[in-house]
Amino acid sequence: EAGVAQSPRYKIIEKRQSVAFWCNPISGHATLYWYQQILGQGPKLLIQFQNNGVVDDSQLPKDRFSAERLKGVDSTLKIQPAKLEDSAVYLCASSGTSGAQETQYFGPGTRLLVL
Amino acid sequence: AQKVTQAQTEISVVEKEDVTLDCVYETRDTTYYLFWYKQPPSGELVFLIRRNSFDEQNEISGRYSWNFQKSTSSFNFTITASQVVDSAVYFCALSDLTTDSWGKLQFGAGTQVVVTP
């Protein structure tokens, strides 16, 4: 079974530029998550989708971050404009459905460096 | 509120030594789930184990074992006879039903394990 796919793996941009990340979850997984992991810290949830609907975006900086999952499968996370403090690893995860008991499976992440 | 504390920032061991990683959690819920993930240098978080709050049996999987103690709110992880391939950051995480019923994971800060030959 194929795992969670993410691209690109690495991205370097200058501040105020825009960037987009792509994620394809495990086939059949209804729930998709985007996490931000700053160096030396644990991942922090940015947004959670159940199929193509948002169930939690309380920690998403909506003035600059946006995400969509239009057909309930793959998803795109965008930052516009980027700031220096957005330098982090962006992890995508998926699970069969939503719920505290569900195991989340993670992709390899996208390492973003904002100069 | 949910909170996960991994007090050990880094642990260095020589190959074949045992290493124990501590995890202490806080939750007001009686039903919750605890997880351990491994993050090797490649960056991907690899799922290791899930434990629910009603199952306090310790678990062993190969060289890995977990000790869940509700009385002390701890879920510790031991690697027996460590190998160089065990070098990674290990995260403990918690999800419960009160703060968020949608399965939001609260991660600890992680413990870096360095195994030298």
Overall average pLDDT of the B84-109 stretch? 87
Q: Which of B28, B42, B104 to mutate to test the interface with A (most CBs of A within 10 A)?
A: B104
For position A99, what pLDDT does the model report? Answer: 80
DSSP string computed for A67-79 = EE-TTSS-EEEEE
Q: What mean pLDDT, rounded, does chain A reach?
A: 94
Which of B43, B44, B100 lies at the smallest CB-CB distance from A56?
B100
Contact A88, A17 (CB under 8 A): no
Contact at CB, B37 and A106, closer than 8 angstroms? yes
**What contacts A108, CB < 8 A, 6 or more positions away?**
A4, A6, A9, B42, B43, B44
B59 interfacial to chain A (CB closer than 8 Å): no
Q: What does the alpha-carbon distance between residue A77 and residue B97 come to, in Å, rounded to a whole number? A: 27
Sort out which chain A residues have CB atoms less than 8 A from B51's CB and list them.
Answer: none
B5 interfacial to chain A (CB closer than 8 Å): no
Sort out which chain A residues have CB atoms less than 8 A from B105's CB and list them.
Answer: 43, 45, 104
Overall average pLDDT of the B75-92 stretch? 97
Sort out which chain A residues have CB atoms less than 8 A from B4's CB and list them.
Answer: 42
Contact at CB, B96 and A107, closer than 8 angstroms? no
Per DSSP, helices labelled H in chain B are: none
Quick one: closest CA in A to B42, which residue? A108
Which of the four pLDDT bands, split at 50, 70 and 90, describes residue A54? Answer: very high
Overall average pLDDT of the B42-46 stretch? 92
For position B101, what pLDDT does the model report? Answer: 60
Overall average pLDDT of the B97-104 stretch? 68
pLDDT of A2 strictly over 90:
no
Which of A91, A98, A103 lies at the smallest CB-CB distance from B102?
A98
Which of the four pLDDT bands, split at 50, 70 and 90, describes residue A59? Answer: very high
Overall average pLDDT of the A42-69 stretch? 94
The radius of gyration computed from the CA coordinates of chain B, to the nearest angstrom, equals: 14
Largest Cα–Cα separation, chain A: 40
Contact B59, B66 (CB under 8 A): yes
B38 interfacial to chain A (CB closer than 8 Å): no
A-B CB pairs within 8 A amount to 71
For position B98, what pLDDT does the model report? Answer: 67
B97–chain A nearest CA distance, Å: 6
CB atoms within 10 A of CB A66: 16
pLDDT single digits (tens) A80-95: 999 999 999 999 999 9
Which of the four pLDDT bands, split at 50, 70 and 90, describes residue B26? Answer: very high
Rounded percentage of chain B residues whose pLDDT exceeds 90 = 78
For position A35, what pLDDT does the model report? Answer: 97
Which of the four pLDDT bands, split at 50, 70 and 90, describes residue A102? Answer: confident
**What contacts B26, CB < 8 A, 6 or more positions away?**
B1, B2, B3, B4, B5, B73
Q: How many CA atoms lie within 13 A of A96 on its CB side?
A: 4
